[in-house]
Amino acid sequence: MKVTEHLKAAKQPLFSFEILPPLKGKSIQSIFDGIDPLMEFKPRFVNVTYHREEFIYKERENGLLEKIAIRKRPGTVGICAAIMNKYQVDAVPHLICGGFSKEETENALIDLHFLGIDNVLALRGDSIKTESTFRPHTDGHKYAVELISQISDINSGSYMMDDVQLEPTDFCIGTAGYPEKHFEAMNMTTDLQYLKAKVDAGAEYIVTQMFFDNKKYFDFVNACREIGITVPIIPGLKPIKTLDHITFLPKFFKIDYPNALSTELLKCKNNKDVEQLGIEWGIAQSKELKEAGVPCIHYYTMSNSSMVKAIAKEIF
Ligand code: FAD
């Protein structure tokens, strides 16, 4: 079933979560171990992130440097198929522009279609460590809106390959939104205009970047509605877990902590204190969002489901 169908059928806010493929070399069991504790809350869909390859340079005996491609977390498509098979729950693979030519994107979508996966979250992806800014594949997409257009095209039967007859796909397309603005955007106004362009190109719902201040989400939803974005906007929440997260999350995801949270974080002496606060804050945020009638609350597990479980227990 499509994410939008789940949202339409829901009588109260749904529970969903995102997982990361395991580090290369780990078994699929590590994924199941992360999902099993959350199944009691009846997620209608589970997102699986996509991690593109990075490049490293290794010095050879002759002194020359060899460029080597490594993918630390491969397997998004296979993991989605395994989740659907084991849990009979819909899986939402993330598909990114970075590292993909348009032809490779088309092939990836054909593979997903064959596997019966009809949901996809379409993203641009970030720059890799060796790039200062995002650089698309020479024959790829620069922005998520172009990827969404390509998916919409094959949904209407328009493929790049014209030598074989392929049936139209029926992907439900999600896209990303940023209540605190995407870090590269000139301002909130342009960011919202580009978000609207993604919806106009075929995105049927939005999942937000994590935020810790619900007011930012509510303001974002209002601003979206004002410019004519009518699709469901799913809030994304991440529980803070460690002392390191206190600086890492704002730095990496370009988000702020509200004063009430930073005041409490300053009192934390160890990871245990942060984890307890993270659960309490997550519960409070979730309660308010649920009362406001959001369509679904989406949790970023970041390979750790115990905190999400502790929050979900109080909410779903
Ligand atoms: P876009 O919508 O393309 O926007 C990127 C920037 O360009 C924005 O500043 C926007 O304002 C601007 N822009 C957009 N369109 C145009 C245009 N036509 N002209 C000029 N400027 C424009 N990354 C991964 O690598 N793998 C994942 O699995 C993953 N999952 C994610 C899930 C969620 C819910 C979210 C919120 C993010 C995720 N990301 C993931 C991170 C995401 O790839 C980055 O935030 C990336 O920098 C932007 O992606 P986007 O799809 O929002 O890009």
pTM above 0.75, yes or no: yes
Number of C-beta neighbours around residue 132 at 10 A: 7
| Contact by Cβ (8 Å): 158, 149 | no
pLDDT in tens, 148-194: 999 999 999 999 987 778 899 999 999 999 999 999 999 999 999 99
Write down the H helix ranges in 207-269.
Answer: 214-226, 243-253, 259-266
C-alpha 99 to ligand 1 mean position (Å): 14
Structure tokens that stand for 170 in this block:
């029926």
- Give the tokens for residue 274: 């942060």
Q: Is 69's pLDDT higher than 80? A: no
Q: Report whether 134 contacts 98 (CB < 8 A).
A: yes
The answer, yes or no, to whether any atom of ligand 1 lies below 6 A from the CB of 123, is: yes
Nearest to 255 by CA among 275, 237, 231: 237
Pairing of strands 172-177, 119-123: parallel
Planar angle of CA 46, 87, 7, nearest 5 degrees: 45
How far is ligand 1, taken at its centre, from the CA of residue 257, in Å?
Answer: 21
Residue to mutate (ligand 1; options 123, 141, 196; most atoms within 8 A of CB): 123
Nearest CA among 52, 1, 46, 54 for reference residue 19: 46
pLDDT of residue 246: 96
How buried is residue 69: exposed, middle or buried, by Cβ count under 10 Å (0-12/13-18/19+)? Answer: exposed
Ligand 1 close to Cβ of residue 47 (< 6 A): no
Which pLDDT score, from 0 to 100, does residue 65 have?
Answer: 77
> What CA–CA distance (Å, rounded) separates 296 from 299?
10
Asked if the model's pLDDT at residue 70 lies above 90, the reply is: no
Q: Considering only CA atoms, which residue is closest to atom 28 of ligand 1?
A: 49
Helix (H, G, I), strand (E, B) or coil at 123: strand
Q: Are 145 and 92 in contact (CB under 8 A)?
A: no
Is the pLDDT at 55 greater than 90, yes or no? no
Distance 74 CA to ligand 1 centre (A): 20
**∠286-178-131 over CA atoms, to 5°?**
130
- The C-alpha atoms of residue 191 and residue 212 are separated, in whole angstroms, by 20
Which residues contact residue 65 at a Cβ distance below 8 angstroms, ignoring those fewer than 6 apart? 57, 58, 59
Cα 182 to averaged position of ligand 1 atoms, centre (Å): 7
CB of residue 207 inside a 6 A radius of ligand 1: yes
Atom 53 of ligand 1, residue of closest alpha carbon: 124
For ligand 1, what atom is nearest to the CA of residue 195? Answer: 2
Whether the CB of 297 sits within 6 Å of ligand 1: no
Q: Note the CATH number of domain 3-315.
A: 3.20.20.220
Q: How far is the CA of 136 from the centre of ligand 1 (A)?
A: 12
Task: Determine whether the shortest distance from the Cβ of 113 to ligand 1 is under 6 A.
Answer: no
Domain definitions of the chain by residue range: 3-315
The pLDDT of residue 59: 78
